[in-house]
A and B are shown apart, each in its own frame.
Chain A
């Protein structure tokens, strides 16, 4: 062994408690459980090797998620076809034209949509939008922590979230119409 790894105990104490979060985010990034497992293992090993670069007292969760995300982008993303980019000029007016908000203004249809459909719609988002949405709205992280994890400015986090949420609402709305959870108004 070369130079011994510094403070393996502190890795166990500060990094390993975030393993569930890292796993959940890996699942949504990769869209596949077995790839997610490989991604998590690679991430934790890289983090362990780089642990001496982690500054104690800073955000270990964001640090791990940055490694996860870079590992995914560099090594895993190539292996899978990305979702087709979406034309927002087409998608955004659609929910309005359908009168989605008037047909179910309180969004009661959301609670009828099964989890698997929600995850499917999230997984279909373009990666840039998906990663911001997963960290902020699924994992409940603050915009500042999302920005730190993704290494982008807070303003960029907000604009990606804005578009991701609109897109997702439109997809879930369409699904709810298909399933008959919502009867869209005809007068639009």
Chain B
């Protein structure tokens, strides 16, 4: 990964910005730090490319489970078990 020297007015260097990319995408940063990361990404093409990489990685993790639901027979078995627990019919 190529990096750039920190520039004047740029609060973060590349290493610091790269460390924050997952947290940035997950909106886990404070507004101040998020703004610093955003400012760095706007002026640093290699780090912006890396952001795309992390975004694609995160998308890849979100999709496989997205449509998976608790199967109806299991749902019914649980409802039945809870009814028995209450001593109901």
Query: Which A residues have a C-beta under 8 Å from some C-beta of B?
Result: 1, 4-5, 8, 11, 19-20, 22-24, 27-28, 37, 40-41, 44-45, 48-49, 101, 105-108, 110-111, 113, 115-116, 118-119, 122, 133, 136-140, 142-143, 161, 165, 168-169, 172
Contact = CB atoms under 8 A, between A and B. Distances in A.
- 5 tightest CB-CB pairs across the interface, nearest first? A107-B53, A115-B64, A23-B70, A107-B56, A1-B87
B86 to A, nearest CB: 6
Given A23-B70, A45-B81, A165-B57, 15 more contacts: A1-B86, A4-B86, A5-B85, A8-B86, A19-B75, A101-B1, A105-B46, A105-B49, A110-B57, A115-B64, A116-B64, A118-B60, A118-B61, A138-B62, A139-B65
B8 interface: no
24 contacts: A4-B86, A23-B68, A23-B71, A24-B68, A27-B68, A40-B70, A44-B78, A45-B85, A48-B85, A101-B1, A106-B49, A106-B53, A107-B56, A108-B56, A111-B60, A115-B63, A115-B64, A116-B64, A118-B60, A137-B62, A138-B61, A138-B62, A142-B26, A143-B28
B70 to A, nearest CB: 4
Contacts of B28: 142-143
Contacts of B54: 107
Nearest to B83: A8
B70 A5 contact: no
A136 to B, nearest CB: 7
A175 B69 CA distance: 28
A188 B60 CA distance: 27
A41 B78 contact: yes
A119 B65 CA distance: 9
A172 B60 CA distance: 10
B52 interface: yes
Interface in B7-35: 22, 26, 28
B82 A45 contact: yes
B4 interface: no
Given A138-B65, A140-B62, A161-B22, A106 B56 contact: yes
Contacts of B46: 105
